[in-house]
A and B are shown apart, each in its own frame.
Chain A
């Protein structure tokens, strides 16, 4: 494993289910990272649309919208331009940098950032911006009425298999179960 290449936002070690979806205007405009959590959103058309997850899940985006590895290839900005993406669900084993590095409260308060310390076997959910996190209190702590009423986020969708460190180029290993 020491020779594992880690060049993309999300590196696939074991593949699960993958299917193409339409991305909504928010994702298309803002872009997204590989490993970004997404959730289903209603559409006026006969299509399957996802938007950025706020703690709910449909799956995660396999590829980012504009990754450095895709520059000067046919993939360059192809996804946001044509508004599509590939969602991963089911059982995967991935390495990704798309996880929350700091606690929600320290990110929100503007105070000093408090690192989130991950360990193998920690259970994961999506944060309210769709990153992988071990904090299940973001809905409550957000102060957003629509999210506060949901209580604790127990929409678990994975386990940490390898905690991020300098040894892993700060990628986190995740066993995905969606």
Chain B
């Protein structure tokens, strides 16, 4: 994560460590929670936050009940993203349950089943849609998390 960076709202899961510390990595559908801030957001430029999280290898982890507006969600169906064909938008509706995709973004699709993941189906729901993305909200999705 420190190398690749991450977006604010990125889903993460716990990972083993050889040190006495708590480590997270990108979620693959399993959840621990989500990261509050991205690793290098425009709003953090020219502040003490600039590049601090990946440099020092830390992040702020969120679980429990939140209401957030985020762009860290899957915009196109898993099949169209991996199939090489035209991208098919995912339509989100209010009240729909969401989970983490194979790369840890919020989605309404179970990606374990089409990817052949032996853990399928993914029923690790961690929130629901409060406001669907639209031009009126600058294409953010608003979510109520329950982790």
Contacts and interface: CB of A to CB of B under 8 A. Distances in A.
Contacts of B147: 91, 177
A119 B20 contact: no
A120 B23 contact: yes
Interface residues of B, number: 17
A50 to B, nearest CB: 23
Contact of A4 (B18, B20, B33, B63): B20
Interface in A111-125: 119-121
A20 interface: no
Interface in A93-134: 119-121
B15 interface: yes
A121 B15 contact: yes
Interface in A127-178: 159-163, 167-168, 173, 175, 177
A175 B64 CA distance: 10
In the complex, which range does the number of interface residues on chain A fall in? Answer: 10 to 19
A90 interface: yes
Contacts of B14: 120-121, 159-162, 175
Interface in B16-36: 16-23, 30, 32-33
Given A160-B14, A175-B14, A121 B63 contact: no
B22 A121 contact: no
A2 interface: yes
A167 B13 contact: no
Given A162-B14, A175-B14, A177-B63, 19 more contacts: A1-B19, A1-B20, A1-B22, A2-B19, A2-B20, A2-B21, A4-B20, A90-B64, A120-B17, A121-B15, A121-B30, A121-B32, A159-B32, A162-B21, A163-B16, A167-B19, A167-B20, A175-B32, A177-B147
A119 B15 CA distance: 8
Interface centre among B16, B19, B33 (most CB of A within 10 A): B16
Given A119-B16, A177-B147, A91 B32 contact: no
Contacts of B22: 1, 161-162, 173
B144 to A, nearest CB: 15
A175 B32 CA distance: 8
A9 B109 CA distance: 40
Nearest to A16: B64
Interface in B38-85: 63-64
